[in-house]
Structure 1
Amino acid sequence: MITYTNFFRILSTFVIAAALLSLTGAHTQALSGSITDYKFGYGPIASINNDWILAGHWMGYHNPSNLTDSGFHSTFDMVMKNGSAPHMHQISNATVSDVKMDGNNSIIQGSVEITMKDGPVSNVPTNWTISNNNTLAIDLDPSKINNHFGESPIYGLVLTPDKEMKIMNKMMEDSKFMDQWIPLMMQNMMSTLNMNGENISSMPQMMNHSISNNTMEMNMENNTVIP
């Protein structure tokens, strides 16, 4: 149990680090100034909009001193409640024009590009509302996308490494679940990745290559990103 638990802690740390690095690392060349100047966010999307279920992930950032220095990306699946008509959308190429505070809520105004069946639609007016640093509402102008997502916002959660570690620690309190789930997770991971001897031996080189292409270091203990 100790071995599995320690492995799970290490794995969860890498999962969180990967989420943050995918948010920040992809935009390293575009960012200007100190990384501490930026407002970052990431988390899952899990929303029911009319007869449709949406689920996926989002990441975003903006520089309060220079709103043109901003970005947002979300990839999510969309499927009807009865399981039919599954498809995927991406929101990207965001621009931020204004940020306002309403009590504990941040209201960010701008525009995005959305992939649709007939091709991407650009310059879709969008409002992002972050409430109490816990929830996200993405309000897209329905007139620009044939009301594809309905008239209600797409909702998601705002996560932090601290919040995710609390969830994982709570899961680990269930020793019966952990004793069964960790071995099953490992078996599934090995099967899915087809990790034979050749792949395992190449993992250090892959990790070194990944690190060398990223100019950022993570300090997970302090939940900070250090340039």
Structure 2
Amino acid sequence: MMKTIYKMVSAIFLLAVSVSTIAGFNLNHVLAQNPSNPDPTVLKGAISGHSNNGNTTEPAWIISGVYKFTDVNASSPAFNATFYMINLDGTAEHTHSIYDLKLSGDPVIDSNSNSTTYNGTTTVTLKDGPVSNIPTQISLLDDSAIAITVEGNLTNKHFGSTPIYGTQHLICVEVPDLCK
């Protein structure tokens, strides 16, 4: 009888330790700071996704690159992005940059969706060179994503009819050994 009670107490103890350890790991993960962006005034991240051709909703292009958004809490933050666009079949590789953000008002903060949207204009590099004063919207989505919407009429719908999406993470910052 005593042996059975000892086994039950040991099992309950091990179960309690296991649950508290798992709960502790999850709590630490939730409260962890984004290792790509330890400075709250600077966001660095990856551009990662696809876009359509502006005429259909089907994906036409792979988009991949990086961005840096500095002084995000200032009246004139700086946004710079450079990314590749490649056809889904691997052809027609080319690059674009978006830079020279000029805000047209204060950022719009939506506490319900935990997002902040910056409206303004940017310069966008296209095939024939840079085009200035392109209406652009940059939305920080929670603490993990970004959506960049570039006015389609002034770019001949080159980026399709959906935002350019990305993350607020850079794997080469978080796991440098992968990028050596």
Verify same fold: TM over 0.5.
yes
Overall identity of the aligned pairs, in %: 30
Written as runs of structure 1 = structure 2, the 5 A alignment for 1:140-159 is 140-159=150-169
Which of 111, 119, 123 aligns to 1:109? It is: 119
Point out where structure 1 has 5 or more consecutive residues left out of the alignment.
1-15, 21-35, 170-181, 190-227
Corresponding residue for residue 196 of structure 1: none
CA 1:42–1:63 in 2, change beyond 3 Å: closer, same or farther? closer
1:54 counterpart = 2:56 = no
Name the CA shift for 1:118/1:42 in 2 (closer, same or farther; >3 Å): same
Provide the residue aligned with 1:175 in structure 2. none
Residue identity in the other structure for 2:48: A
Instruction: After TM superposition, give the deviation of residue 110 of structure 1 in Å.
Output: 1.2
Deviations 1:103-129 (A, max 9, x none): 211111111101111111100111111
Aligned equivalent of 2:27:
none
How many pairs align? 135
TM superposition shift of 1:62: 3.3
Aligned to 2:17: none
The 8 Å contact of residues 152 and 159 in structure 2, kept in 1 or not, is answered as yes
2:90 to 83, 91, 94: 83
Distance 2:117 2:81 in 1: 18
Gaps of 5+ in 2: 1-34, 53-59
| Residues 117-152 of structure 1, C-alpha deviations (whole Å, 9 max, x = no match) | 111110011111111111000011101111000110
Aligned-partner Cα distance in 1 for 2:71–2:163: 21
Paired residue secondary structure (2:107): strand
What is the rounded CA distance, in whole Å, between the counterparts of 1:108 and 1:151 in structure 2? Answer: 19
Q: CA deviation at 1:94?
A: 1.2
Displacement of 1:160 in angstroms is: 7.5
Find the aligned partners of 1:119 and 1:100 in 2 and give their Cα distance: 31
Query: How do 1:162-173 and structure 2 match up within 5 A?
Result: 165=174, 168=175
TM-score by length of 2: 0.66
* Higher RCO structure, 1 or 2 (CA under 8 Å, sep 6+): 2
Alignment correspondent of 2:7: none
Q: Distance in 2 between matches of 1:90 and 1:43?
A: 14
Matched, 1:138 2:148: yes
